[in-house]
């Protein structure tokens, strides 16, 4: 499933093409891609046609386009969703599910194609609600004067925690919540209600960089170790962004259909049987939550806390 870097790559590609563009047409080729759209709020196409798009915003793995109304177009890529920019009249992409026709004030007409092989992704128009902390709802990359949409977020995204490269992310709140988690640290990193945008790939990479075993109890981490881990998470995400995300096949691509190449920089994920870059011990893969965890058994040793010693990081 695409994680924060892959979704942010899409957001960055969409931003200049859709901002201030007006939706002039909507074609739905597969109704299954509207599974998250609530028809009670109005028909999907009717809520979009004639509306101006104000920006492209992301929180974690969720992407939305705030509209010149109290609503937003929410895009979830699922496991194989792609958002592709095309010139009008271009041949249809395979597995095209939804097409938006936009009229941009300087770029003219363009198509936004939503392509999805497995149909786990979706588009939906959702009502925007005020953020609980009064801060921007997500990352837009826009250093503009305050606008109403900036401190609002789609209702179906409001429960998702902020991600670690969001300027409004609170490290202190994260550390406090982490100290109360009664799970292994990798499960905590994958909890989108605690910290968003991290999936299996980047969790393994960050834990490898921080030398932490994936089953290490989250509450057992010292404040220093938790700080090291958060720094590793941010470093890995920024590196992946710089390389266009991680693509193992043709699924995770930018808006022009180009794949990222961070897969060549992975140190742990998918490298089972290869020597650790630090100590030479072979990387191993263990079953974890219907997927796998990749780690170095020498560099990432599991340390069980002594009975009664559990508590918040100091």
Residues designated as active site: 2-3, 61, 291
Instruction: Enumerate the β-bridge partners of residue 50.
Output: none
> Nearest-5° angle of CA 238, CA 243, CA 247?
110
Query: What distances in angstroms separate CA 126 from CA 38, 69, 72, 192, one per listed residue?
Result: 8, 11, 6, 20
Return the structure tokens found at 304.
């069980």
**Range 144-150 contact pairs with CB under 8 angstroms and sequence separation of 24 or more:** 147/54, 149/54, 149/55, 149/57, 149/66, 149/72
DSSP state letter for 300: S
N-terminal to C-terminal alpha carbon distance within the chain = 35
What's the chain's Rg over C-alpha atoms? Answer: 21
Instruction: Enumerate the β-bridge partners of residue 71.
Output: 127
Map residue 239 onto helix, strand or coil: helix
Return the structure tokens found at 122.
């979706």
DSSP state letter for 22: E
* Distance separating alpha carbons of residues 203 and 185, to the nearest angstrom: 9
* Distance separating alpha carbons of residues 189 and 198, to the nearest angstrom: 7
Closest CA to 62 of 140, 131, 115: 140
Residue 255 CB-density burial (10 A; 0-12 exposed, 13-18 middle, 19+ buried): buried
Residue 51 makes CB contacts below 8 A (sequence gap 6+) with 22, 23, 67, 68, 69, 71
């Amino acid at each position: 499933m695409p994680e924060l870097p892959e979704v942010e790559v899409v957001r960055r590609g969409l931003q200049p093409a859709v901002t201030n563009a007006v939706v002039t047409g909507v074609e739905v080729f597969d109704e299954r891609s509207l599974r998250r759209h609530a028809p009670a709020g109005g028909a999907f196409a009717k809520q979009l046609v004639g509306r101006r798009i104000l920006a492209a915003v992301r929180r974690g793995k969720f992407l939305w386009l705030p509209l010149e109304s109290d609503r937003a177009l929410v895009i979830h890529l699922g496991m194989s969703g792609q958002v592709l920019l095309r010139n009008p009249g271009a041949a249809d992409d395979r597995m095209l599910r939804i097409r938006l026709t936009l009229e941009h004030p300087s770029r003219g007409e363009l198509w936004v194609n939503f392509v999805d092989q497995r149909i786990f992704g979706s588009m939906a128009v959702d009502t925007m609600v005020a953020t609980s902390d009064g801060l921007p709802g997500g990352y837009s990359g826009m250093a503009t004067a305050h606008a109403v949409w900036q401190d609002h977020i789609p209702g179906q995204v409001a429960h998702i925690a902020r991600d670690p490269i969001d300027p409004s992310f609170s490290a202190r709140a994260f550390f406090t919540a982490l100290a109360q988690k009664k799970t292994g640290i990798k499960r905590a990193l994958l909890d989108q209600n605690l910290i968003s945008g991290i999936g299996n790939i980047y969790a393994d990479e960050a834990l490898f960089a921080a030398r932490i075993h994936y089953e290490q109890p989250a509450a057992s981490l010292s404040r220093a170790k938790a700080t090291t881990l958060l720094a590793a998470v941010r470093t890995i995400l920024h590196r992946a962004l710089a390389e266009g995300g991680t693509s193992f096949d043709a699924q995770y691509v930018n808006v022009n259909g180009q794949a990222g190449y961070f897969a060549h920089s992975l140190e742990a994920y998918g490298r089972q049987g290869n020597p650790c870059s630090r100590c030479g011990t072979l990387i191993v893969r263990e079953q974890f939550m219907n997927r796998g965890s990749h780690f170095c058994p020498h560099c990432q040793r599991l340390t069980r806390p002594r009975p009664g010693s559990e508590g918040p990081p100091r």
